[in-house]
């Protein structure tokens, strides 16, 4: 990763330093002393705890310097008014110093998988850096940029948000040359008011792009497809249903453990194989194909890279344990991803058990969306165990959809949920575990499998 002097960083963020420390260098940054590595810049953020309280621990652990609002001793430090803003300024300076191309990816569902697929494909040609898991906000993304190697040629960064102007801020730091909006869904509608509000927030990504930047949008998403009429940017589209898309997925087939389709773009057509289940992954892959072709990657390298792709932990992991097929999809959940996961469950041979936790941040749509998921579960699952404050709404949807009452249950207590799950399942069943991150569905899996030993 790049080595930065305090003087350089102070110039980028407008901070002040003691001249005797101007030549002190650091690589990377961290705001957590538990994860801090020797030689990094410790960022004293104001959160639930004041990060300044941890400066002694950071220095003891080997921090090269501190980014802070006040300095209570003699140690290398950059003093600024706002450490969060200063961290972003330093990351922006480093991004420009390295001179790498940046691919920015956002969307309501699937942006992490799209980011991973895009990075995997680009790695066949370029030296690639990417944002790690959970580094898609105003703290994580800047730290990810500062952790990238000096010789990075392309950075693939994920941009998340749940309020207006958050994507705009991230884009002002990353300045993406190429951008992707995977879709517009209902995630975070609680804070953004409507689907149109979510669209507006996602489109903030173009504010950080150069005039000659290229943005790829999901052409099967009506809200995004309409941007062809109003956007002043160079826009390309990917999709499977809209034949006017620039990158088109055709002839989709799926079997347990494998997804196959053809990617068509202008005069190119080539087969894609993914070791994944669920047609929702086709859009993620097509977005990666679109970016790769834009950056000059050959169809053969794209095909080979995607055939070897493995998704991140916690995202639709499918494995056998104690006689059951477990579908572990616990990273997050919204109405769209719930429907997709239930589709994967229903396509598997065996009896289908859905253990579904609440979907958070849906605001006024909460009741309706949980009810709808219950209706979908009635079509795709043989048993539904709903978990959380909104579990009764999901249960009512399932019962209205025709699921028998003896196999549809609602719980607010995890121990009780696991006990009933044990009573209802039998070897050979396929069990889907999914819910929003805050529901900690992985703990349900762990407790269920531990009791089965």
Assigned token pair, 311:
């998704």
Q: Is 346 exposed, middle or buried (0-12, 13-18, 19+ CB in 10 A)?
A: middle
Which H or E run includes 25?
Answer: strand 25-26
% of the chain exceeding 70 in pLDDT: 98
One-letter-per-residue 3-state SS of 146-160 = HCCCCCCCEEEEECC
pLDDT given for residue 186 in this prediction: 81
Q: Is 94 exposed, middle or buried (0-12, 13-18, 19+ CB in 10 A)?
A: buried
How many C-beta atoms surround the C-beta of residue 336 within 10 A? Answer: 18
Assigned token pair, 228:
């062809």
Owner of token pair 């429907």: 339
pLDDT at 102 over 70: yes
Distance CA 192, CA 200 (A): 9
- The band of 236, judged by pLDDT with boundaries at 50, 70 and 90, is very high
All domains in the chain, ordered by first residue: 4-86 (3.40.1390.10), 99-307 (3.40.1190.10), 317-451 (3.90.190.20)
Beta strands in 137-195 (DSSP E): 154-158, 178-181
Instruction: Note the pLDDT tens digit of each residue in 331-386.
Output: 889 999 999 999 999 999 999 999 999 999 898 999 999 999 999 999 999 999 99
Residues contacting 40, CB < 8 A, separation 6+: 26, 27, 28, 29, 30, 63, 64
Helices and strands: H and E segment counts in the chain: 16, 21
pLDDT given for residue 238 in this prediction: 98
- The band of 313, judged by pLDDT with boundaries at 50, 70 and 90, is confident
pLDDT, mean of residues 208-227? 95
pLDDT, mean of residues 301-323? 92
Model's pTM, two decimal places?
0.87
- The band of 453, judged by pLDDT with boundaries at 50, 70 and 90, is very low
- The band of 53, judged by pLDDT with boundaries at 50, 70 and 90, is very high
Least confidently predicted of 183-187, 222-226, 322-326:
183-187
* Of residues 72 and 398, more confidently modeled: 398
pLDDT given for residue 133 in this prediction: 86
pLDDT given for residue 231 in this prediction: 60
Distance CA 228, CA 7 (A): 45
One-letter-per-residue 3-state SS of 32-80 = CCCCCCCCCEEECCECCCEHHHHHHHHHHCCCCEEEECCCCCCCCEEEC
Give the residue from 295, 288, 343, 334 showing the smallest Cα distance to 311: 288
Owner of token pair 């499977």: 240
Instruction: Please state the φ and ψ torsions of residue 383, each to the nearest 5 degrees.
Output: -135, 135
Tally the residues of the chain: 453
Give, in order, the Cα–Cα distances in Å from 391 to each of 372, 384, 386, 395, 445. Answer: 12, 10, 5, 6, 18
Distance CA 165, CA 159 (A): 12
- Average pLDDT value over all residues in the chain: 95
- The band of 230, judged by pLDDT with boundaries at 50, 70 and 90, is low
Distance CA 449, CA 453 (A): 7
pLDDT at 23 over 70: yes
**Region of residue 75 (left: phi > 0; alpha: psi -120 to 50; beta: else):** beta
Three-state secondary-structure class, residue 380 = helix
% of the chain exceeding 90 in pLDDT: 89
Instruction: Note the pLDDT tens digit of each residue in 266-298.
Output: 989 999 999 999 999 999 999 999 999 999 999
C-alpha radius of gyration, the chain, whole number: 23
Instruction: Note the pLDDT tens digit of each residue in 387-416.
Output: 999 999 999 999 999 999 999 999 999 999
Distance CA 223, CA 143 (A): 32
Which H or E run includes 84?
Answer: helix 83-98
């Amino acid at each position: 990763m790049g080595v930065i002097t305090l003087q350089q960083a102070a110039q980028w963020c407008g901070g002040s330093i003691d001249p005797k420390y101007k030549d002190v260098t650091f690589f990377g940054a961290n705001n957590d002393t538990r994860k801090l590595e020797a030689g990094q810049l410790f960022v004293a953020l104001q959160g639930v705890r004041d990060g300044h309280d941890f400066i002694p621990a950071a220095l003891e652990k080997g921090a090269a310097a501190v980014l802070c609002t006040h300095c209570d001793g003699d140690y290398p430090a950059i003093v600024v008014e706002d450490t969060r803003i200063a961290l972003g300024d330093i990351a922006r300076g480093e991004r420009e110093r390295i001179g790498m191309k940046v691919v920015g990816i956002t969307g309501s569902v699937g942006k992490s998988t799209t980011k991973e697929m895009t990075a995997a494909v680009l790695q066949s040609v370029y030296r690639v850096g990417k944002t790690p898991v959970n580094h898609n906000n105003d703290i994580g993304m800047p730290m990810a940029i500062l952790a990238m190697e000096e010789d990075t040629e392309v950075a693939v960064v994920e941009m998340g948000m749940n309020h207006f102007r958050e994507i705009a801020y991230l884009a002002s730091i990353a300045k993406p040359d190429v951008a992707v909006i995977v879709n517009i869904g209902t995630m975070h509608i609680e804070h953004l008011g409507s689907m149109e509000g979510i669209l507006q927030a996602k489109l903030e990504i173009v504010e950080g792009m150069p005039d000659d930047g290229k943005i790829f949008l999901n052409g099967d998403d009506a809200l995004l497809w309409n941007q062809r009429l109003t956007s002043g940017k160079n826009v390309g589209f990917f999709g499977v249903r809209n034949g006017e898309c620039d990158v088109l997925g055709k002839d989709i087939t799926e079997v347990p453990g494998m997804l196959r389709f053809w990617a068509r773009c202008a005069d190119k057509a080539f087969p894609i194989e993914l070791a994944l289940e669920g047609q929702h992954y086709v859009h993620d892959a097509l977005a990666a194909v679109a970016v790769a072709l834009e950056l000059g990657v050959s169809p053969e390298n794209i095909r080979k890279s995607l055939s070897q792709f493995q998704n991140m932990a916690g995202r639709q992991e499918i494995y056998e344990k104690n006689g059951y097929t477990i579908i572990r999809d616990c990273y997050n959940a919204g109405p769209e991803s719930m429907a997709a996961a239930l589709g994967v469950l229903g396509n598997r041979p065996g009896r289908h058990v859905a253990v579904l936790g609440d979907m958070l941040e849906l605001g006024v749509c909460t009741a309706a969306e949980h009810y709808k998921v219950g209706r979908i579960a009635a079509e795709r699952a043989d048993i539904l165990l709903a978990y959380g404050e909104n579990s009764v709404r999901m249960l009512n949807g399932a019962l209205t959809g025709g699921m028998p009452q003896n196999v549809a249950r609602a719980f607010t207590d995890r121990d009780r949920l696991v006990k009933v799950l044990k009573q209802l399942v039998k070897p050979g069943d396929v069990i889907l575990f999914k819910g929003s991150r805050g529901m900690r569905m992985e703990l349900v899996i762990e407790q269920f499998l531990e009791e089965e030993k």
